[in-house]
Chain A
Amino acid sequence: MAKKNTFKTFLSDIPQNLFSGFVVSLIALPLGLGLALASGAPPISGIIAAIVGGIVVSLIGGSHVTITGPGNGLVVVILAAITTLGDGNMQEGFLFTLAAIVISGIIMIILGFLRMGSLGDFFPGSAIQGMLAAIGIGIFAKQIHVMFGNLNAKGSIIDLLIQIPEGIINLIKTNDLSILYAGSIGIISLLIMIFYSKIRNRYFQLIPAPMWIVVLSVGMYYYFDLVSSSAYPIDKSLLIALPDDILSNFAFPNFSKIYDADFLNAVLAITLIASIESLLSIKAVDKLDPLKRRSNVNKDIRALGLATVISGFLGGLNVVTVIARSSVNVNNKGTNRSANFFHASFLVVFILLFATELRKIPLPALAAILVYTGYKLASPENIKKVFLIGSEQLIIFSITLLTTIVTSLISGIIVGILVTFIIHIIINKNILLFIKNILKPNVLMFKEEGKYYVSVQNFSSFLNYTKLKTKLDQIPESEEAIIDFSLCDFVDHSVMENMNNYSESFTRKGGHFEVIGLDDSKPGSEHPFALRKILPRQITLKEGYLTKRQKSIQNISEEMHWKYDAFSAREMEELPSFGYFKTRKINKVSNVLSNENCTIFDVQFSEGEMIAKQVIKATMLHIHPLKPVPDFTLDREGIFEYILDFAGYTDINIEKHRDFSKRFYLAGKNEEKIRNFFTNELILFFESNKQYHIEASQNGLLVIGHERLSSVKEMKALAYFGMGLQKTI
């Protein structure tokens, strides 16, 4: 029954997916051509990748709204592979590269079967950002010259960047009408890309910016062809070259260099970038999915691998999951995999019907699209974002970026990983913390009272994040999860960012995800993703950046009209009078939430001394009642954890309330007074509410839930319990 229904929805969704597939294909066409050109490959190879990818992945993939095709990241790698493998001969180099693409596809299939999708988590966030920015700069540096109509700019990325001013001057001074026209088209195209989003016109926005560029430049050709008397001014060398017979003219990979070191290098680089780009995109697109589904990453990787193999044999580029096109798909209400399929089908139609028109597109127009893409990857905003997280992230980012530009992608990312690790060691001034604990299973998960409780110890960084991730992935996002880092000495930026992602996806699906145990840590900066190092216990952070938990506590305090303080001297004085703290030394009271009579706070205390010393952090509620209260403790019957603090007293049974006596363990010094204190209403209140451990002394009532920090939700419950209890008394 259920199956039929899903099939029905699938069918009824087809029209809207058909439409979004069409819109995506409008972008995929110019992008596919452009990316292939930028890679130094024949333009058609990009389209082949998009078509094969769209068909294969939509049929056997594991994601829902992703679009697949040639990717930005691969431009740099493929270009490098073609140049090195071909020894200057681009045509031959391309055939060798096709072989590398086929092999990398096979590796991806294997990775998928080995469930290595999680490998993507091994790369620290800032290093990946740096690598992507380097790719962006690479694309930008190369394509900006093409955009100015100069196809002959050569040299390293840095050389190319230095040549930019010269390129502009050359364009202005040029006598060659063809270059002048081509360069102007390039610049106009770039302006279209930049200002497209600023023009909020419904009809204008119907066609995506890259397609406008195609339409306008083809339109210009027809203007010269049909209306104007002068000939089309742009030289044929500056126009796109498509094979005459697209259907029969497939390039075939050349496997003769398969044992070369260069070849192997190319395969590695292609596989690395293809998997990272795909994994990042799949993760990002899952966040956009209107139906909140979870993609099967490993299945998707296998499908992408197979698509890459087929595409390679047909003379196409790698197939990866691409974020920009996927987001367009979601924006145009694509809901299932058929959109990807339709996008491929429309590309087939375009290429068959409009091959003649496509041949009229000037290269600078396509280059402009790429210049814009490259800029987006390496935009100053991205750098600023990284810097906000912390200056150490900027160091990681910059070193990765520079190494990637100067050497190659693989050495860039390796250096990025190393630098991140070294910086973590420097921040902690402790290398043993990492070496001793890296292989240990540091995550414990169990379900308690319907909540998932996850405790992480030692350290949590990109090095061992997969362990945490596999546990977290097992929690349905509609449930409540508490992640406790209080046993952790160090949490890095990659983990913090991922925690934030989890928190978002839990909120989206109606669950609750909360990170606790970081309030005592010293963050690298104000940013919520900043890495955090847990401070030595004695030092109190006077001023600091508030964690997310502290901020939410502040929010509730406003909601309930309670007062929020970071610290409280009064509690420090009064707490020791409670039996619970007789044997425990209070170090710190923080995150204090109070109204006139009730106070909720986190308390940090220690048990034992020297080597037996244990530092415990817990959330408690302190009620200051208006009338005097006899000393007593109240517990759920059977929980003897705290009883020893009041050793010597026995359970006081209240005759009238057998059920209460059965469920609660009540003990105290003055039986008479306690019996008078426990009025019928009070007993009813205790019976009908969640059971806490309660202790009373001359300073009021102390209510303890668990002997650990509470999540914000639990704090709220505690607050309401406190107010209710206060009223009843």
Chain B
Amino acid sequence: MKKFDKLLIGIAFSPNLKSNIFEAVRLANMFDAELVGVHVGTKSDEKKTALKALLSEANPLKKPFKAIWKEGNPVNVNVILETTISEKIDLLILGAIQKENLFKYYVGSIARKITRKAPCSVLLLIKPSIVRVACKHIVVNGLQEERTEETIKTAFTVSNFLQCNKITIVEEVSQTELHVKVNDDKSLRKANIAKERLSTREDQRVKHILETINNKNITVKTQSIFGKRGYSIGHYAKVKRADLLIMNAPNKLGFFDRIFPHDIEYILSELPTDVLIVK
């Protein structure tokens, strides 16, 4: 089970700064964690006072705020990545923006780069807000993978911190696993039997994981969906209007994975909601 003790937020003096800071402060308090802010660019008194003013406006932090000022190119992701290592950060918060036009897509691509390389968990916020928007529904992946158990456990921890009461564990079953192609009535029947079997198998697997988790105050639902891995869970989160989507960190991505996006790349290119990637 992951516990987030040290959070890092990248500070860019953009119109979003206020909401990003507020969101980060709130999260730090909820997780009972330390907050570190890093700014890449020139350090100036102007910026310092602006930041201070913002922090004083926000809820008081339980633990002291640490600001790091680093020289460099703001679009260079390495500085942030280095900081996560040197400061032993558990969770990196990024204020991504829902994809709408090309410019924002570019911003999204930085977030993607960081997510790919970050050594810690990453939280992408698509709608940082000054006033708290309650988190009511968390969707978490239930893929058949080593890391899934850890991810699901983390989801429960997070939902406790966020006072979220509903978790849906989504098992994505890919088409190829069915082994039956639907051609006519007979193969359709076969495919549906195979689907039922797969669904029960997946449910069983998730149930097994759930046995070890204390989930008293939380409504847990499992849902099998059939579609493209990675992409469908985002679509599901969108349809169900989940507030947070929690995913496994991707396996090491090779060259081909960039060209032929899959799994998490889909989510990152089209953030359906806030996304937490657990590493």
Contact = CB atoms under 8 A, between A and B. Distances in A.
A490 to B, nearest CB: 17
6 tightest A-B CB contacts, nearest first: A612-B127, A640-B165, A441-B228, A444-B235, A296-B183, A296-B184
Interface residues of B, number: 40
B229 to A, nearest CB: 9
Contacts of B129: 608, 612
B45 interface: no
Interface of A: 62, 115, 293-299, 440-448, 455, 457, 470-471, 473-474, 476, 484, 487, 608, 611-612, 614, 616, 638-641, 643-644, 707-708
B239 interface: yes
Nearest to B188: A476
Given A293-B184, A441-B232, A457 B127 contact: no
Interface in B63-121: 97-98, 100
A644 B162 CA distance: 13
Contact of A294 (B137, B184, B224, B232): B184
B133 interface: yes
Interface in B137-194: 137, 165-166, 175, 181-185, 187-189, 191-192
A641 B184 contact: no
Contact of B238 (A457, A470, A473, A641): A457
Contacts of A62: 183-184
Given A441-B228, A446-B224, A643 B165 contact: yes
Contact of B126 (A612, A639, A708): A612
A219 B235 CA distance: 69
B21 to A, nearest CB: 17
Given A298-B183, A641-B136, A474 B239 contact: no
A606 B164 CA distance: 22
B62 interface: no
A641 B166 contact: yes
Contact of B127 (A295, A296, A608): A608
Nearest to B137: A641
B241 A611 contact: no
Contacts of B241: 614, 616, 707
Interface of B: 97-98, 100, 126-127, 129, 133-134, 136-137, 165-166, 175, 181-185, 187-189, 191-192, 195, 219, 223-228, 231-232, 235-236, 238-239, 241, 266, 270
B238 A446 contact: no
Given A293-B184, A612-B126, A612-B127, 14 more contacts: A294-B185, A296-B183, A299-B184, A440-B270, A444-B227, A446-B224, A470-B182, A471-B226, A474-B182, A474-B188, A487-B238, A608-B127, A644-B136, A708-B239
A579 to B, nearest CB: 14
21 contacts: A62-B184, A294-B185, A296-B183, A299-B183, A440-B231, A440-B266, A443-B227, A445-B226, A446-B223, A446-B225, A470-B182, A473-B182, A474-B191, A484-B239, A611-B97, A612-B126, A638-B219, A639-B166, A641-B166, A644-B136, A707-B241
A639 B219 contact: yes
A473 B223 CA distance: 21
A446 B240 CA distance: 12
B98 A611 contact: yes
A611 B192 contact: no
A707 B235 CA distance: 16
A616 B241 CA distance: 9
Contact of A455 (B184, B185, B228, B235): B235
Contacts of A446: 223-226, 236
A640 B166 contact: yes
Contacts of B183: 62, 296-299
Contacts of A298: 183
A643 B165 CA distance: 10
A299 B239 CA distance: 36
A667 B188 CA distance: 46
Nearest to B125: A612
Contacts of B97: 611
Given A299-B183, A640-B165, A641-B166, A455 B239 contact: yes
Given A293-B184, A611-B127, A640-B219, A487 B232 contact: no
Contacts of A643: 165
Contacts of A616: 241
A443 B232 CA distance: 8
Contacts of A640: 136, 165-166, 219
A470 to B, nearest CB: 8
Contacts of B266: 440
Contacts of A638: 219
Nearest to B236: A444
A299 B166 CA distance: 47
Contact of B100 (A445, A611, A641): A611
Contacts of B236: 444, 446
Nearest to A486: B239
Given A457-B235, A638-B219, A643-B165, A295 B184 contact: yes
A293 B188 CA distance: 12
